[in-house]
Amino acid sequence: MKLTSITNPFILSVLVLILFITGCKVEPKPIAYGKEGCHFCSMTIVDQQHAAQIVTRKGKVFSFDAVECMVNYTKELDMDEVQLLLCNHYLVPEELIDATKATFLISEQIPSPMGAFLTGFDTRHAAEEILGTNEGELFTWEELVQHFNK
């Protein structure tokens, strides 16, 4: 390909479009447990059952060591810019699930990294099973945000 073909407006616009499409993927990124720091509190993310992640509409990813850090960070965000709110599924370590559809358990029998005793589950049924052997309280995402905004 000659240099003049790259300056061709059509080819140039196709290249820019390809770069734009491939450069801004709106998807979660694997959390580098033991290496990556929490965007809210800067603590190293090591707990594979309690981490969380926000992905913006522009594809920027923020990782957190605990759901409570993510909830607190959302107070600083324009939520219209957020595409995904994710949290670890307690029963499947490292698996990120949609936090807005998750059920959360606050139980002093299950410690979390920042001391809120907050754990996420992919279904209400899964959370109820753990609640059956641990005292605590269940929350939806909306209820959890209200709880932390008190």
Question: Bridge partners of 92?
Answer: 89
Q: Which pLDDT belongs to residue 26? A: 87
Residue pair 70/85 in contact (Cβ under 8 Å)? The answer is yes
pLDDT along the chain (150 residues), means of 10: 55 53 76 97 97 97 97 94 97 97 98 96 97 96 95
Query: Helix, strand or coil for residue 137?
Result: strand
Q: Which pLDDT belongs to residue 25? A: 79
The four Cα atoms 126, 32, 57, 98 give a dihedral, to 10 degrees, of 0
Q: Position 127: which residue type? A: A
- Dihedrals phi, psi of 54, to nearest 5 degrees: -115, 135
